[in-house]
Amino acid sequence: MASRPKALLSWSSGKDSAWTLHVLRQQAEFDVVGLLTTVNGVHDRVAMHAVRRTLLETQAAAAGLPLWVVSIPSPCSNEEYESAMRATVERAAAEGIEVMAFGDLYLEDIRRYREKNLAGTGLRPVFPLWLRPTDVLAREMIDGGLQARITCVDPRKLPATFAGRAFDASFLTDLPKDVDPCGENGEFHSFVWAGPMFRSPVDIALGEVVTRDGFVFADLVPLPVEQAP
């Protein structure tokens, strides 16, 4: 049997990328060989989600995959971002990787941007969750055992009190009607700490909730081993 094409997965540490990994493994069309994440080089945290790099590394270990970290400056221009990503894509192509998978759901402009940037690189973009109804998808994640915490909230779209909450059925029920159940329009971001894509949970505790640059962030901290359940 011919070997499956190798794939990198764009990994935000949140629910959409985590569920994409689960779906890719179920479909078994590609061999996922790594998780690709952009990290703020100044603060050593996942860009936008503001998740600590230590937690990101624990996630990757729980998923059984190597982590490909792309360090970007803060602030970061689009030119700087694209230059950093271009170098990583070149490395991936040199290592025989043929596919880049994304957890995007329905934003056409983002999909076109990704397709444009990968054109001619030797890597083919795929979107396993594309156009799945987000209300159905959100409940599918929860029913499937995914467990996550909300790490970032845009208070212009969602009350700040949602920061730090569990992504669960109660969370979905409490969401305002105009907020996407998966936060696809930037209403919120998450960190997945358990689910079918992991060998074991990532033990965390909720730290300080702060407002910075117009967003509300809930800091998640690694739970010491002696306190882990």
Give a yes or no: residue 1 inside a domain: no
Q: DSSP of the chain, one letter per residue?
A: -PPPPEEEEE--SSHHHHHHHHHHHHH-SSEEEEEEEEEETTTTEETTT--BHHHHHHHHHHHT--EEEEEE-SS--HHHHHHHHHHHHHHHHHTTEEEEE----S-HHHHHHHHHHHTTTT-EEE-TTTT--HHHHHHHHHHTT-EEEEEEE-TTTS-GGGTT-B-SHHHHHHS-TTS-TT-TTSSEEEEEEESTT-SS---EEEEEEEEETTEEEEEEEEPPGGG--
Give a yes or no: residue 116 inside a domain: yes
What pLDDT, on the 0 to 100 scale, is given for residue 11? Answer: 97
Percent above pLDDT 90 for the chain: 88
CATH number, domain of 29, equals 3.40.50.620
Give a yes or no: residue 21 inside a domain: yes
What pLDDT, on the 0 to 100 scale, is given for residue 48? Answer: 78
Where residue 1 falls among pLDDT bands split at 50, 70, 90?
A: very low
| Average pLDDT of the residues in 194-209 | 97
As for how many domains the chain has, the answer is 1
| Cα(76)–Cα(165) distance, integer angstroms | 29
- Chain mean pLDDT for the chain: 94
Does position 225 have pLDDT exceeding 60, yes or no? no
Give a yes or no: residue 207 inside a domain: yes
Tens of pLDDT along 22-34? 999 999 999 999 9
Q: Which domain holds residue 135?
A: 6-227
Give a yes or no: residue 190 inside a domain: yes
What pLDDT, on the 0 to 100 scale, is given for residue 226? Answer: 46
Where residue 177 falls among pLDDT bands split at 50, 70, 90?
A: very high
Does position 224 have pLDDT exceeding 90, yes or no? no
Q: What is the largest CA-CA distance in the chain?
A: 53
Give a yes or no: residue 219 inside a domain: yes
Residue carrying the six token digits 């983002």: 110
